């Protein structure tokens, strides 16, 4: 699948005079749409987008030199310059101001070279969906609807599961979602906490104890806020009753 676009090990040794290789391919989450239906096309679009996005950041040099540097940086073979830049430009301009997700270079290569099961692909989607949600933060709170939406390449959260594509909808079943989350915790570095919380807290940086601490701090603030809100409503109710009582007394005295 698309193997010829990756530089081989010999080329790695001979192209070490430029910038170091990129560890991530930063892409808009919408590019992951239809990953389950046509993985090869999505992998190819990631390739086009990444090349062009890096290419336009290079200020100096000819088009050929900038393209060469981009290919080196991303560890792609230096081929089909005009075609790749044209397709990349279309994708880049289509997805402006989008939630971004970072695909680790070795994960991209693995899914590019090897045949994967539908479950593996769903885990790939869920992992990068969560990455797009947490962004640069150390942790974030989310719910399943937002997770499924990003897995389906959607920016905003769905209101109902029926809005998902058929393939993603299958993995939106409770059993499948729990299975994916378990796999991400065991093999993808996901730190996850969802005890007595609406939605779930997650991180790829914090240890579980630190994530639980952050979740409970926010839960305590929420409980305190709800308590104060309840007191305020009761105060307003009592005040209104007192006002009515005084008004009634004034009328009787009159």
Reading the chain (254 residues) residue by residue, the pLDDT tens digits are 444 454 443 333 334 455 678 889 999 999 999 999 999 999 999 999 999 999 999 999 999 999 999 999 999 988 899 999 999 999 999 998 889 999 999 999 999 988 999 999 999 999 999 999 999 999 999 999 999 999 999 999 999 999 999 999 999 999 999 999 999 999 999 999 998 778 999 999 999 999 999 999 888 666 666 666 777 777 777 778 777 766 666 666 65
Total domain count for the chain?
A: 2
Considering 67, 84, 113, which residue would you say is the last residue of a domain?
113
Between the CA atoms of 202, 205, 211 and 217, what dihedral angle is there, to the nearest 10 degrees?
-100
- For residues 14 and 108, state if they share a domain: yes
Contact 4, 80 (CB under 8 A): no
Strand 191-193 relative to strand 200-203, pairing: antiparallel
Same-domain pairing of 50 and 144: no
Beta 100-104 vs 200-203: how paired, if at all? Answer: unpaired
One domain for residues 102 and 7? yes
Residues 199, 102 share a domain: no
Closest to 27 in 3D by CA, of 131, 111, 134, 103: 103
Q: Which two tokens stand for residue 98?
A: 């989008």
Distance CA 151, CA 132 (A): 10
Q: What is the pLDDT of residue 219?
A: 81
SS3 140: strand
Pair 121, 224 in one domain: yes
SS3 101: strand
Query: What are the backbone dihedrals phi and psi of residue 115, each rounded to the nearest 5 degrees, phi first?
Result: -75, 135
Please provide residue 101's backbone torsions phi and psi, each rounded to the nearest 5 degrees: -140, 145
Residues in the chain: 254
Q: Which two tokens stand for residue 61?
A: 């040099």
Q: How high is the pLDDT of residue 154? A: 96
Residue 67's pLDDT is what?
A: 95
Residue 113: phi and psi, rounded to 5, are -90, -35
**Rounded Cα gap, residues 74 and 252, in angstroms:** 86
Looking at the structure, do residues 146 and 94 belong to the same domain, yes or no? no
**24 has which bridge partners?**
104
Q: What angle do CA 19, 25, 26 make, to 5 degrees?
A: 115
Same domain, 7 and 106: yes
94 and 120 co-located in one domain = no
Same domain, 70 and 158: no
The answer on 93 and 20 residing in a single domain is yes
Q: How many angstroms separate the CA atoms of 233 and 173, rounded?
A: 40
Asked if 101 and 132 count as a contact pair (C-beta separation under 8 A), the reply is yes
pLDDT of residue 18: 56
* Domain extent at residue 48: 3-113
pLDDT score for 226: 65
CA distance linking residue 252 with residue 145, whole number of Å: 58
Q: State whether 238 and 148 are in the same domain.
A: yes
Query: Does residue 160 sit in helix, strand or coil?
Result: coil
Give the H or E element holding residue 130. Answer: helix 118-134
Q: Which two tokens stand for residue 117?
A: 């099961």
Residue finishing a domain among 113, 131, 155: 113
What pTM, to 2 d.p., does this model score? Answer: 0.80
């Amino acid at each position: 699948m698309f193997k010829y676009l990756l530089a081989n090990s010999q080329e790695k040794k001979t192209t070490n005079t430029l910038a170091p290789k990129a560890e991530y391919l930063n892409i808009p989450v919408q590019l992951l749409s239809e990953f389950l239906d046509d993985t090869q096309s999505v992998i190819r679009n990631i390739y086009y987008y990444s090349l062009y996005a890096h290419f336009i950041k290079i200020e100096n040099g000819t088009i050929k030199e900038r393209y060469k540097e981009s290919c080196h940086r991303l560890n792609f073979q230096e081929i089909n310059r005009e075609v790749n830049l044209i397709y990349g430009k279309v994708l880049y301009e289509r997805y402006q101001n989008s939630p971004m997700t970072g695909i680790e270079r070795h994960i991209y290569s693995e899914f590019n070279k090897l045949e994967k099961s539908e479950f593996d692909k769903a885990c790939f989607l869920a992992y990068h969906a969560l990455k797009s949600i947490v962004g640069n933060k150390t942790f974030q709170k989310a719910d399943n609807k937002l997770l499924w939406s990003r897995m389906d390449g959607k920016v905003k959260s769905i209101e109902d599961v029926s809005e998902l594509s058929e393939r993603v909808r299958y993995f939106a079943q409770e059993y499948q979602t729990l299975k994916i989350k378990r796999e991400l915790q065991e093999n993808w570095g996901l730190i996850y906490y969802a005890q007595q919380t609406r939605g779930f807290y997650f991180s790829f940086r914090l240890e579980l104890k630190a994530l639980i601490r952050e979740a409970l701090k926010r839960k305590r603030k929420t409980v305190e806020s709800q308590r104060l809100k309840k007191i305020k409503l009761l105060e307003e109710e009592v005040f209104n009753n007192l006002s009515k009582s005084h008004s009634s007394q004034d009328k009787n005295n009159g």
